Structures are given as C-alpha cells and as structure tokens.
Amino acid sequence: MDPDGCATPVVDAERVSSVRRSLPSEETVQDLAQVFGLLADPGRLRMMAALLEGGEMCVCDLAAATGQSMSGASHALRLLRMRRVVKVRRSGRMAYYQLADSHVRMLFDLAITHARHTERESGDG
Amino acid sequence: MDPDGCATPVVDAERVSSVRRSLPSEETVQDLAQVFGLLADPGRLRMMAALLEGGEMCVCDLAAATGQSMSGASHALRLLRMRRVVKVRRSGRMAYYQLADSHVRMLFDLAITHARHTERESGDG
DNA sequence: ACTACAGTTGAACGATCCTTCATACATTGG
DNA sequence: CCAATGTATGAAGGATCGTTCAACTGTAGT
C-alpha cells in the first residue's frame, strides 16, 4: 500500500528500495504462490509422482495408486487441470491424465532431489 | 490405510501397483509438501526473493522491502527458520537473515523461470 | 535503573483448504 | 428406454493457515 514504508522502521533505506525494485511483479508472485500451493498437498504430490512414472493414467487408477477416493482424485485433478499442470484425454467415459508442463516436471524432480539430500531434523536455530 | 485399494475400481491393476511401488516414501511426500507449502505464500515468497537479491537483511528491512508488518515478517521467518530455509545471524539486538539452502534457491529460480514462460490464462480444458 | 528499540511469541479472528457425501453428467450395453 | 459405469461437481464440516493485537525478551544508551 505505502510506497516507502511508514509503520516499519528501516535500517538500510537504500538497500530496502533497491531490493524492492528487484522483486518479481505482484502478478508473478501470485502465480508462483499458486503453483507452489498445488504442490503443497500430499495427495496432489503423489498424483504428480504417479503421472511422472505412469505416463498416462485414468482417474480410478490414479485414485487407487495414490490412495485417494475417486471424488478426491477428481477434485485434485480439477485444480491441476485449471493450472495447466496436467492435461486430459477423453475416450468414451474414461479420462486419461498426463503431466502437461515440463517446468513442473523439473520443479518436481529438483524438489525430490532436495528432499533426498535434506536431513529431516527440524529445529529452531 | 488399505494396502491394495478396496473401494475404488481399478482398470489396469498391474500399472497401479507398479506405480504405487515407485512412489516416494510417505516421509518424503510429507517433507516435500511442507517445503512447497512454505513457498505457497506471497509474503514468504517475496522474502525469499528479497534475500536472493539482498544477500543478508535484518527483519525490519525485510519487512519494509516485502510490505509486511514486523510481526508478520517475524512469524514468516520463524517458519522458514524451522524448515532450515533461512539462517539467522544475531548482532546486538539485530537479527540478520539469509537463505540457508542452495536447493531452495534453485527451486525458486526455476519456478520464476516457469512463471515467466507460462501464459496466465486459467481455464478448464 | 529507566527508556527506547529490534525482534519474538501467543491468542483470536477470518479466510482458505481438504475431505466427504450426495448428486449429476455422459457413455456403454441390454 | 433403463441400468451400470467412469467421472465431475456443489455443498457442508472440520482443520489449517495468515494476519493482527498485545505482551514479552533482550540489548543499547543515558
């Protein structure tokens, strides 16, 4: 709201405004946050991992493979579809899903690598 | 809960169990989801972007640069600290934060690239 | 010791999210 | 047409999350 900060004291004003100018646009930030939000759910994460392996799968197999209900899987796939993370191919009454976006594949792969290399201690500092 | 799926019909049983075995462990999935969850908030995202640019910044400058209250910034940094995404250096009554983990930097960078290459239409199919 | 300052923390409120249930839609087979 | 099947969707319930307010810790300066 305020272009230069009023309520918060500032130590290094130059640095602050320089960093400020370098930040991604509001739109980019929102967009990024939404994509990460999609990845922040275990069910959806497993779905993407499944599609990464399985290539193309129908909803019921996807649900079974990731331990979700059909309805839950469908809701999840809807969100992923809306964000263009997956794409669907229809054949009769079946719906076959696959990953749509290679960036997300890379993101996902990198994240898995990150997880594998990370100690799983959580502490405060 | 169920090792082989009971309530959900399955089309390709072999594929399902093969994919199932290939999925990351429960622990990895939870861990990943939490990391992505951290990145799913605009405020935290801006903080990480700021630290990516600014290198090391104190809480009040970070708050000013990302348009957050001191309290909000502190809460956010606490979460990032607990997940070892940032680390803190204390000097007197100041607290200087910087990114702790190069994986997160890469994740973040890749994500920005992704956002820049993505059309911002959201539709259903 | 007292005041000012930088930061931290807990509680409360509202918003958002995930899960589940029920229902609806479209396609296939009789 | 009717029943069965695979999928999609809206609404409700409870959980989780982010923001804010108030109080608290620890340091610096007088």
Which residues of A fall within a CB distance of 8 Å from B42? Answer: 29-30, 33
CA–CA distance from B32 to each of A25, B29, B59, B68, B94 (Å)?
26, 5, 27, 26, 31
Residue A72 has pLDDT above 70, yes or no: yes
Average pLDDT over residues A53-78: 95
- Nucleotides on chain D that have an atom closer than 7 A to a protein CB are 5-11, 17-23, 26-28
Question: Could you tell me the domains of chain A?
Answer: 45-120 (1.10.10.10)
Residue B11 to chain A, least CA–CA distance (Å) = 6
The answer to whether strand D lies under 7 Å from the CB of residue B43 is: yes
Any CB–CB contact under 8 A between A9 and chain B? yes
Nearest nucleic acid nucleotide to B125, CA to C1' distance: D8
One digit per residue, pLDDT tens: chain B, 125 residues? 333 334 678 999 999 999 999 999 999 999 889 999 999 999 999 999 999 988 899 999 999 999 999 999 999 999 999 999 999 999 999 999 999 877 777 777 777 766 666 544 334 43
ipTM: 0.86
CB atoms within 10 A of CB B92: 5
Question: d(Cα B121, Cα B98) in Å, to the nearest integer?
Answer: 34
The most distant pair of C-alpha atoms in chain A lies apart, rounded to whole Å, by: 64
pLDDT in tens, A87-122: 999 999 999 999 997 777 777 777 776 666 654 433
pLDDT of res. B120: 41
The CA-based diameter of chain B, rounded to the nearest angstrom, is 64
What are A52's two structure tokens?
A: 């990464």
Q: In this predicted model, what pLDDT tens digit does every residue of A25-51 receive, in sequence order?
A: 999 999 889 999 999 999 999 999 999
